[in-house]
Structure 1
Amino acid sequence: MKHLSPLKLSIYGGMILGFLMLESPAIMLANRIEPMLMGLPFLLVWNLFWWFVLTALFLVAYLTNWGSPTPSNNHAIKQP
């Protein structure tokens, strides 16, 4: 099994947490009350917050090349 670096592990964990917060039925527990935040219903603010969290997390993942294999020296082109 491949070793996951702490950064990759935290990115995967954040993605799972974000998707669970957006897609799980637990959101209905938070939707029982009708508070307004910045003039928006709580459910909309909740979804926007987790959407921004996931977007930022995907940006960090993209900038750190978390899905790319690590470059090896075996495939380097040797010039004479």
Structure 2
Amino acid sequence: MNQSILFSDIQTWNEAKQVVLFPAQCCGALIQCQISKKALEKMSGCLLKDEQHILTVFSQCRFEIEELAEALIEDEAFDQTGMIEISN
């Protein structure tokens, strides 16, 4: 694990975008990351019904999600807004 990339325990559900947002910090820079509901369903193997269920499953899959986000950050795979996106 790259110690220069840190993840906090903060995550929020964005209903409009159907994503969970979570921040990372790399070399002092704050990077907004997101995982789509579809990607989270695929990763967990279950149908996510409401915000509480989505955030619970996110927490259960957090290590795997953070590894994916870390790899994307290291590859500098930012979208046009500077965000890291994990999607299907």
Decide which structure has greater strand share: 2
Say which one has the larger Rg.
1
Question: What TM-score do the two structures reach when normalised by structure 1?
Answer: 0.31
